[in-house]
């Protein structure tokens, strides 16, 4: 009898692959080069973790960039990767590569303030040897294998305000979720500080509430190995 089909073994947990200097330089662009004003923060009492411009001190060892212009896609990338790897200049270069012959680039704001689309996020992650997997909202969240996922990036509607005045408008906003030291955090760049969500049950509850809005979309940030083996999905 033919042998049973054996699914490739999945890694025990998700880990960010080591970045080659070329990949790091390409991701950072000119503004991300060392000595460009990047600040240094503390990682609790243990050591150092870079705090780029816009980053705010939060719970020990949690990197969190605050909102600037329409750069939520860049903030979400850096927050989910827990270090400043991407700059506006690097994102603009990705836009040019995605649409080299377009005078008006469709992947960013015409005003030059950001507002990058999902193609920029996916290309940025691919440049680091990572992948972004769309979560099918029809699946129960119990099938999401969180230990195999580096982090999550959500695209959801966000209210628009002008100073203290809230406008009856909704715009799309990128938000990162990431586990740090066993605790999941909402790293929304519009928050003053990271919001602790708790354990896996806590992040699933957050995702369920977000997906209930119907307009929310979820990207799983995973390694290439996890993407190829489908380890992000529980099959039993």
State the catalytic residue, choosing from 75, 107, 173, 231. 173
Q: Given this model, what pLDDT does residue 57 score? A: 52
Quote the radius of gyration of the chain (alpha carbons, Å): 18
> In this predicted structure, what is the pLDDT of residue 91?
75
Tell me: the pLDDT tens digits for 96-143?
786 777 777 666 656 666 678 888 899 989 888 999 999 998 999 999
Distance CA 203, CA 183 (A): 9
102 is catalytic: no
pLDDT at 120: 87
Range in 69-78, 87-96, 165-174 with the lowest mean pLDDT: 165-174
Phi-psi region of 230 (alpha: psi -120 to 50; beta: other; left: phi over 0): left
> Is 72 designated active site?
yes
Which of 194, 236, 229 lies closest to 11 in space, CA to CA? 229
Which residue among 64, 107, 188, 231 is the active-site one?
188
24 has a pLDDT exceeding 80: no
**Is 188 in the active site?**
yes
Q: What's residue 47's pLDDT? A: 34
pLDDT of residue 70: 79
- Residue 87: which of 48, 117, 114 has the closest Cα? 114
Q: Which of 64, 72, 75, 107 is catalytic?
A: 72
- Quote the percentage of the chain above a pLDDT of 90: 38
Rounded to whole angstroms, how far apart are CA atoms 146 and 224? 16
CA 11 to chain centroid, in Å, comes to 21
pLDDT digits (tens, 9 = 90+) for 204-227: 999 999 998 778 889 999 999 999
CATH topology of domain 72-229: Cathepsin B; Chain A (3.90.70)
What band does 40 get if pLDDT is binned at 50, 70 and 90?
very low
């Amino acid at each position: 009898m033919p042998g049973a089909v054996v699914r490739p073994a999945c890694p025990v947990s998700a880990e960010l692959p080591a970045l080659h200097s070329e990949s790091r330089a390409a991701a950072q662009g000119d503004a991300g080069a060392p000595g460009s004003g990047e600040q240094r923060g503390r990682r609790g009492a243990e050591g150092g973790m870079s705090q780029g411009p816009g980053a705010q001190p939060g719970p020990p060892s949690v990197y969190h960039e605050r909102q600037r212009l329409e750069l939520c896609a860049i903030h979400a990338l850096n927050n989910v990767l827990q270090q400043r790897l991407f700059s506006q200049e690097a994102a603009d270069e990705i836009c040019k590569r995605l649409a080299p012959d377009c005078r008006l680039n469709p992947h960013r704001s015409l005003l030059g303030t950001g507002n990058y689309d999902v193609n920029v996020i996916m290309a940025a992650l691919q440049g680091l040897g990572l992948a972004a997997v769309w979560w099918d909202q029809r699946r129960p969240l119990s099938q999401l294998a969180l230990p195999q996922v580096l982090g999550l990036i959500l695209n959801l509607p966000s209210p628009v305000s002008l100073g203290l005045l809230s406008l009856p408008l909704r715009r799309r906003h990128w938000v990162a979720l990431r586990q740090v030291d066993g605790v999941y955090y909402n790293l929304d760049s519009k928050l003053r500080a990271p919001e602790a969500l708790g354990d896996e049950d806590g992040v699933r509850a957050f995702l369920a509430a977000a997906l209930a809005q119907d307009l929310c979309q979820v990207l799983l940030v995973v390694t290439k190995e996890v993407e190829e083996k489908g380890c992000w999905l529980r099959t039993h």
